[in-house]
Amino acid sequence: MTGEDSKVWLEDGVLTITIATAANGCSLDAQGAAQGAQALAQYSDRVGSVLLRGGGSNFCAGGDVRAFATAPERGTYLGDLADILHGLVRALDATSVPIIAGVQGWAAGAGMSLVCMADIALGGPSTKLRPAYPSIGYTPDGGMSWTLPRIVGVGRAREILLLDETLSSDEAARLGILSRLVDDDLVQTEALRLARTIAVGPTSAYTGIKTLLSESRTRSLDEQLDAEAASIIRAADSPAGREGVDAFVEKRRADFSSSPHSSSPQQP
């Protein structure tokens, strides 16, 4: 499906996942999250980058609190929704390609959790982030209690979560939650441009970088040095590594286009 109702599509190696739409008040779109997790598994060999986006004025305002209130069994409803969100989070954590987020407006609750899953998150001057869970008496989901301390440090994460702090775009960028800021009206355009640029880049090198960063969580420096040596040896003999070095020596732009990324829109 590639029509107006599509939540997920693959084009030019970029897997775009719409996590919220204006139609549901920019709250988390469960269908988009489920389709995103499915597509990450189905198209893993064709994806060069992942783009997380909101389809309205906000990236994602969190869960639909009104739906929480009207659910016959609130715990069951939230458990089902958490399962869907966590399926996407697990799929994002498992993907070997870079994840880009175009964060316009608010990223609250689950929206902020998904921003924390991105490798590169772009925001604008009007971007704001907030955990939002304590304000309704809830605890975090979407991995925020795991990712946020690793981005900002345990002490700062405690303060942000316990005080339900609203972070301005400048503060979020200073803390490293947002990678950089662009004009508000350029957030989506620049995020897509970056995702497309990465999608035609040296995918095997990106995979190696993400693997090293992920596995460094549980390694000593000595173990990490061994892993880096093994990784750069593999890179040197890879098609991307050979092309990159040859292009540098020959003073031309490297062409990594041999990767099998789709050039036509597809939707699972």
How high is the pLDDT of residue 1? 36
Least confident piece of the model among 2-6, 15-19, 214-218: 2-6
Same domain for 231 and 124? no
Q: How far apart are CA 119 and CA 187, in angstroms?
A: 16
Q: How confident is the model at residue 44 (pLDDT cuts 50, 70, 90)?
A: confident
Same domain for 219 and 121? no
Q: How far apart are CA 82 and CA 108, in angstroms?
A: 15
State the DSSP code for 131. Answer: -
Report the Cα 95 to chain-centroid distance in Å: 10
Residue 18: inside a domain: yes
Residue 99: inside a domain: yes
Residue 25: inside a domain: yes
Sign of the CA dihedral running 147, 151, 156, 161: negative
Residue 261: inside a domain: no
- Whether the model pTM is above 0.85: yes
Residue 2: inside a domain: no
Residue 245: inside a domain: yes
Residue 254: inside a domain: no
Q: Would you say 51 and 15 are in contact if contact means Cβ atoms under 8 Å apart? A: yes
Q: Domain limits at 223?
A: 203-249
CATH number of the domain bearing residue 42 = 3.90.226.10
Q: Which residues of 36-71 are buried (b: 16+ CB within 10 A; e: fewer)?
A: bbebbebbeebbbbbbbbbbbebbbbbbbeeeeeee
Q: What is the pLDDT of residues 113-140, one digit of tens each?
A: 999 999 999 999 999 999 999 999 999 9
Q: Which residue, of 199, 219, 235, is where some domain finishes?
A: 199
Residue 140: inside a domain: yes
State the DSSP code for 55. Answer: S
Least confident piece of the model among 1-15, 38-52, 116-130, 134-148: 1-15
How high is the pLDDT of residue 175? 98
**Taking residues 30-59, what's their average pLDDT?**
94
What share of the chain in percent tops pLDDT 70? 94
Q: Would you say 129 and 170 are in contact if contact means Cβ atoms under 8 Å apart? A: no
